[in-house]
Amino acid sequence: MRDDFHQQLDTLRDDLARMCTLAGTALRHATAALLDGDQEAAGLVFDDVERLRLLQGTVERRTVVILARQAPVAGDLRTVVSAIRIAADADRMGGLAALVARMAVARHPGRVLPDDLIDTFGRMADMAIESADRCVDAVRTGHLDLAGDIRERDDAVEEMHADLHRRVVGASWPHGCAVASDVVLLGRFYGRFADHAAEIARRVRFQAAGVTAGI
Amino acid sequence: MRDDFHQQLDTLRDDLARMCTLAGTALRHATAALLDGDQEAAGLVFDDVERLRLLQGTVERRTVVILARQAPVAGDLRTVVSAIRIAADADRMGGLAALVARMAVARHPGRVLPDDLIDTFGRMADMAIESADRCVDAVRTGHLDLAGDIRERDDAVEEMHADLHRRVVGASWPHGCAVASDVVLLGRFYGRFADHAAEIARRVRFQAAGVTAGI
């Protein structure tokens, strides 16, 4: 049976996994609002984000309690310190999903995206959401291959974002500047979402390797 | 004379203050590259950002050492936990300055901004840089009034960003979609920079009030 301290660490990992799940769900809902004009889904994003915020508070409280009562050292200490940063990344992923949803709501009943960009954003969203879903397993298991996979997805989303930017600034862009600026911002939101997932993966990877990320 | 533990906390605060100073310097250099086409200044941004990255590593190492050796509790523990988040915010501020500089370099020898937007971005940059400069004092002294001031600056930058967006999407925008998308992204970079400064201020404020931010 796990002792009290390791049970607390397990609970912390479970909370982080729930945060990554919620971040993915939030972006799924936001993407439904963006691509299908689903207003109900947009409303769900704001609930997801509120739950993420509460969970982040819970994680920070738990880390402070663990640090104060258990005074962990070495790998366990690094796990607790990393948890603070992972929770901040997952919370920000929710914030980015909220920005996507807010843009969809602001343009409703109009669509934000022209028809010829729906597929591109659909693929970008799929990759970003999958990155979040894989973070769930990564933070729970510390498995490295999954983390590498997330890194590749992040690069792919970044490349799509750069490609979008090239299309928007090209001479043959037919949709006007209002749509151009929405498209560029949306591309950035999805790109940053994937960045944060990659950052979580990087933390998990370094932690498993016995080195704290960024140190 | 300060004991060993409190000297370590002072050193941690000094590192955070240096990080906020560097973030402000990085944005000052990036803004010179953007508004004056100063290529040398753009090069300095990447040095500033590298130093920020190294300092963030130092802060994380110091927090882990303090937590492992001193096992701080109550307010001191909250100070150490907050330091991890403040360092991450300051590091990201450097990353945003680098995005501004990178755009200036990519468009060189052309200018990114049309003449009629130079003043607006000059004012937005001044406010964002001042927010970073005030974070220096806030993290060093824990002074609350300064923190309130940063919050107001953040709101002002956010409002300018929204105003820019309205101009870009308006029917009378004369500069084309490539400039529009650059302007919207730049507005977002300055806005996010100010957001992170406000987040640092929020941490300092809650810490001084004896409550951890976000908890």
* A117-144 pLDDT tens trace: 999 999 999 999 999 998 998 999 877 6
Give me the residue spans of the domains in chain A.
1-209
Whether B56 and A177 lie within 8 Å, measured CB to CB: no
- Matching residue, tokens 């992923």: A93
Write down the mean pLDDT value for chain B: 90
* Residue B210 binned pLDDT confidence (cut-offs 50, 70, 90): low
* Spatial distance between the Cα atoms of A61 and A69, rounded to a whole number of angstroms: 12
Query: Residue A214: which pLDDT band, with cuts at 50, 70 and 90?
Result: very low
Assign A145 a pLDDT band (cuts: 50, 70, 90): low
Say if residue B17's pLDDT is above 90. Answer: yes
Of B68, B85, B165, Cβ closest to residue A84: B85
Side chain identity, residue A15: D
Give the closest of B56, B74, B214 to A56, CB-based.
B214
pLDDT at A212 over 60: no
User: Residue B64: its chain A contacts at CB < 8 A?
Assistant: 77-78, 81, 212, 215
Written as six digits, the tokens of B214 are 């976000």
Which residues of chain A lie closer than 8 angstroms to B168, CB-CB? 177-178, 181
Rounded percentage of chain B residues whose pLDDT exceeds 90: 69
pLDDT of res. B148? 66
List the structure tokens of B116: 């009629």
Q: What residues in B contact A184, CB-CB < 8 Å?
A: 181, 184-185
Is cis: bond before A114, omega within 30 of 0? no
Residues 6+ apart with CB under 8 A from A10: A2
Give the mean pLDDT of B109-126.
Answer: 94
Residue A55 pLDDT greater than 70, yes or no: yes
Band of residue B121 on the pLDDT scale cut at 50, 70, 90: very high
Query: For residue B11, how many other CB atoms are within 10 A of its CB?
Result: 14
Residue A70: closest CA among A9, A12, A2, A5: A5
Burial class (CB in 10 A: 0-12, 13-18, 19+), A21: middle
pLDDT at A1 over 60: no
Q: Is A169 in Cβ contact with B178 (below 8 Å)?
A: yes
Q: From the options 3.40.50.300, 3.40.50.2000, 1.20.58.220, 2.40.110.10, give the CATH code of A1-209.
A: 1.20.58.220
pLDDT score for B160: 87
Separation of alpha carbons A201 and A203, rounded Å? 5
- Give the rounded percent of residues in chain B with a pLDDT score beyond 70: 94
Residue A88 contacts B, CB cutoff 8 Å: yes
The reported pTM is 0.93
- Residues 157-186, chain A, touching B (beta carbon < 8 A): 165, 168-169, 173, 176-178, 180-181, 183-185
Tell me the C-alpha distance between B31 and B175, whole Å.
21
What's the CA gap between B81 and B31, in Å, rounded?
32
Find all residues with CB under 8 Å of A188, minimum gap 6, and list them. Answer: A161, B185, B188
Give the pLDDT mean for B164-178.
88
pLDDT (average), residues A25-53? 97
Query: What ipTM, to 2 d.p.?
Result: 0.90
Mean pLDDT for the stretch of residues A156-160:
83
The pLDDT value recorded for residue B214 is 43
pLDDT over 80 (residue A204): yes
Residue of B207 and A204 predicted with greater confidence: A204
- For B49-97, the pLDDT digits (tens) are 999 999 999 999 999 999 999 989 888 898 899 999 999 999 999 999 9
Indicate the helix (H) or strand (E) that contains A208: helix A176-208
For residue range B140-166, what is the model confidence (pLDDT) as tens digits?
987 766 666 777 777 888 888 888 888
Helix ranges (H only) for B108-175 are 115-141, 144-169
